[in-house]
Amino acid sequence: MSPIYVDHFATTPLDQRVFDAMRPYFQQDFGNPANDGHHFGQIAREAVEEARDTVRHAVGSPSNSPVIFTSGATESNNLVFRGLAERQKHRRRHVVVSSIEHKSVLAPVRWLTQNGYAATLVPVAQTGVINSDEIISALTDDTLLVSVMAANNEVGTIQPLEAIGQATRSRGILLHSDATQGVGKVPIDMARLGIDLLSFSAHKIYGPKGSGALCVAAASTAAELAPQMLGGGQENEMRSGTLNVPGIVGLARAIELMQELTPIEQVRIRALRDALLSGLQKSIEGVQINGNLDCAVPGALNVSIDGVRSTALLARIRDIGVSGAAACGGKSATSHVLAAMGLNRSRIGSALRFGIGRFNTPEDVDSVIDQIVTAVGWIRNQPQFGVEIQA
């Protein structure tokens, strides 16, 4: 039996069409875009600038607004928090973030608090949706930045950015969004939503690993960021280092395909997710949904299976690419997202995160259901592999 991958929130396979777009820039058009005084560098420079325009258009960022190409959303998020802190030492010193942010947001926030900043972590409802009123209530005259993700990386819930953006804009507070799980899946329009800074990675949308971007709504905002990588002054001195031209081209092609395919693709993906959930619930007693599928991106499904530790289950289904928590947490980590949602230890310890993707089929779903049903049946006959029921 061939392995089946249903963990598309961890990463996605590179789409062949993306690879085809990237291929010339590895060998044929290999020039350095910083050396555009000759043909080779000029071709590379044109490819990078075309990609920049593609990204701006895709996220609703104004024409000629800064797009800083990075190695991914983690670097972009660090550039936002650490970059602002270094340039804002004598100004506002308070940030507001949701408690379910990715660790590449939460870790820089901890760094800020160790360097004289105050931070408010706003709790989240058990549905996994942030209450915009609670974010707004946390704002003070000293608030520099609010950071709320577009869609959560564990339960897939889409967050109310527009209401938050209206409040931050009216008070001169910057709004950042880690849109890694949202770009291409939900409408992202920085101008309409009031987003000042937006991060994302290519490898979550069938693009290459090691490529991402920080989109900035205005040049004046970009000027408030202190660069975190120093050297040759690339990216308008915001991110030094020779540009990853194949990766940048791949990022742009990936986002183009998401825009082109999403209207049809997401309907099919949602149907596969619903079939997976239905099959699990019909065949296994005690399957509980974590989050709210009515306001989640179509491919997301996070469930807990009563009395079955996810670690034990994953050990029985090694040919299925699925996870118990976010990939960034490591093998032994438990989910800070589910904990923030108020779930008990038993339910967190039995959680499975599925991410249905572009290349999954109905046959994949049927096989996943069959293998999980078999594994759960075996585990439930082996009490030592269960989870303690705790309040």
Contacts of 1 (CB under 8 A, 6+ apart): 319, 367
328 is catalytic: yes
Contact call for residues 222 and 68 (beta carbons, < 8 A): yes
Catalytic entry in 191, 328, 333, 389: 328
Q: In whole angstroms, what is the distance from residue 355 CA to residue 5 CA? A: 9
Nearest Cα to Cα of residue 217 among 69, 109, 59, 93: 59
**CA pair distance 214, 322, nearest whole angstrom:** 29
> What is the crossing angle of helices 103-113 and 73-87, to 10°?
20
Q: How far apart are CA 109 and CA 89, in angstroms?
A: 15
Long-range contact pairs involving 80-83 (C-beta distance under 8 Å, separation at least 24):
80/108, 80/145, 80/147, 80/176, 80/197, 80/199, 80/214, 80/225, 81/105, 81/108, 81/109, 81/111, 81/112, 81/145, 81/147, 82/108, 82/111, 82/226, 82/228, 83/224, 83/225, 83/226, 83/227, 83/228
Q: What angle do CA 165, 170, 171 make, to 5 degrees?
A: 100
Strand residues in the chain grouped as ranges (E)? 4-5, 67-70, 94-98, 118-122, 143-147, 174-178, 197-201, 212-216, 287-289, 300-305, 320-321, 351-355
Q: H or E element: which one contains 161?
A: helix 161-170
**CB neighbours of 150 closer than 8 A, spacing ≥ 6?**
158, 159, 161, 177, 178, 179, 180, 181, 182, 183, 186, 188
Question: What DSSP string describes 353-391?
Answer: EEE--TT--HHHHHHHHHHHHHHHHHHHT-GGGS-----
Q: Which residues are catalytic?
A: 328
